[in-house]
Structure 1
Amino acid sequence: MYAAVTLFLFMCLTATTHADHHQPCHTPNMTGFMSVTNLKGEVKAFGAFTYESMGKKLRFRSNESHPANTSHGLDLLMFFDEGIFYEIDSKNQSCEKKALQCTMHPLDIPDDAKFASTINSGSPSIEGEGLKLNVWKGSMPDMKGHYSMSVTMGCLPVSTFYFSESTSFYFSNTDVETDIKDPDLLVVPSFCHGQPVEETPEGTVNSFLNEFM
């Protein structure tokens, strides 16, 4: 399995574009499930997400009952345009408000992403048995790494590799729907109102990705 993942990653990274007219698209509103796995096969988190494209707001809640029993207990509310996010503890009615130093996340293609290739997952010749994907790649200067993102023709992110000198992660999205089923999930809980922004320790980079490291 890991050999196949590594091969796919290599193909995505080494592919070169032959169509300079490709421009990054922007994802629509989405709900679905996201899994986060490192390249050792360890599940770092699995849970439901809600993403508002226009407002660039993301709620991710990990499912602690996931069979792998290795998920982080995370409840994150991210406001990428505002540069802040909340770590929420609904059980104890508490939260931490923090500044975002990096707004990269696996549900939208960065504006400076470079088109790498178009690939077919499954069989393109059998109806209903294939999925055509555009692959985008780019660098992450803050993390001294790179990413490779596979996106459907309708601009729905399917999977993203993030890899740096110290760690690598694979984000996979499933059961995605292009609407927001519960808008209240993107509203700051009442018990978080008035919460001050915590001071960020020197050398710390707060981001959605760093929550899984």
Structure 2
Amino acid sequence: MRQLVVLVCLLAGCLAEKPHPAEKPHPCASPPLLSGALTVATQSEKLWTYTRYLYDAMGQRVRLFEMGTYENKSFTFDVLLLFREGAMYEISYHNHTCKKMPLKADFQPLAIPKDANLLGQAVLGSSSAPGAGLLVNTWMGDLPDKSGKYISTVTEFGCIPVSTSYQTKELGWVVISYFNNVIGLEDPALLNPPDFCADAETKSGEEPKDFHSLFL
């Protein structure tokens, strides 16, 4: 279940004029440093999570602080993924313990892939008054493992993720919603293992395929 609830995509807001029709939206990459929060809900109603995250594309590091329910049982989870080091740390500050597991997956930055198809552009909220809406683009494409489709919505300006949906065999449709997102990191130290992780022994176990599969 641990690997099932480790997961993922991310929101800023400002009203902007809709681009000229000639300025067709194009695939984009999110800022390299992001922090904020997200929720995950599944069609099967087996899994729900609230997660605070830190994302560093330059250093290829991700930290997730999760709480939620799986099959009506509550859980909390704190995990640090260091893709360059090839390690995933499961951290417990309460017990001052740390489990280290191999992470052989390649880092996948938050971005709309170049082969994604634009579904459309819309305003979340209202475009009738300044500050009343947010211009977003919605894209569709194939999951990295070609097991199905994904639909992702990002802001037109800044390419900040708003939501992502995709289908899985075990949970049905998974919907990830992002909010309170900030460009940058308030505490970069959280992307380094705590001191008590220094002597953690590497243990074998399943690993996520990429950033977007962390919660599955």
In structure 2, do the counterparts of structure 1 residues 179 and 211 end up closer, same or farther at CA, with 3 Å as the change threshold?
closer
What is aligned with 1:189?
Answer: 194
From 41, 59, 64, give the equivalent of 1:55. 59
Aligned residue identity for 2:192: V
Cα distance in 2 between the residues matched to 1:104 and 1:147? 18
In structure 2, do the counterparts of structure 1 residues 62 and 191 end up closer, same or farther at CA, with 3 Å as the change threshold?
same
- Output one character per residue of 1:165-209: Cα deviation in whole Å (capped at 9) or x when no partner: 333311111111112111111011112124343223xxx453455
**Structure of greater relative contact order (alpha carbons < 8 Å, 6+ residues apart):** 2
From 170, 174, 178, give the equivalent of 1:169. 174
**Aligned-partner SS, 1:154:** coil
What is aligned with 2:18?
Answer: none
Q: Offset at 1:151?
A: 1.0
The 5 A counterparts of 1:139-178 are: 139-142=142-145, 144-152=147-155, 153-167=157-171, 168-178=173-183
Contact 2:25 2:137 in 1 (8 A): no
Contact 1:44 1:71 in 2 (8 A): no
What is aligned with 2:99?
Answer: 96
**Aligned-partner SS, 1:91:** coil
* Aligned pairs, number: 189
Cα distance in 2 between the residues matched to 1:82 and 1:147? 29
Structure 1 spans left out of the alignment, 5+ residues = 1-17
**Aligned-partner SS, 1:142:** coil
The RMSD of aligned alpha carbons is 3.1
Contact 1:31 1:49 in 2 (8 A): yes
Aligned residue identity for 1:206: P
Percent identity between the aligned chains? 29
TM-score when scaled to structure 2? Answer: 0.72
Q: Offset at 1:140?
A: 2.4
Say whether residues 1:23 and 2:27 are aligned partners: yes
Cα distance in 2 between the residues matched to 1:22 and 1:170? 23
Structure 2 spans left out of the alignment, 5+ residues = 1-21
TM-score when scaled to structure 1? Answer: 0.72
Runs of at least 4 residues of structure 1 off by over 6 A?
18-21
Aligned residue identity for 1:108: L
Cα distance in 1 between the residues matched to 2:104 and 2:150? 18
Aligned residue identity for 1:175: N
**Aligned-partner SS, 2:189:** helix
Aligned residue identity for 2:79: L
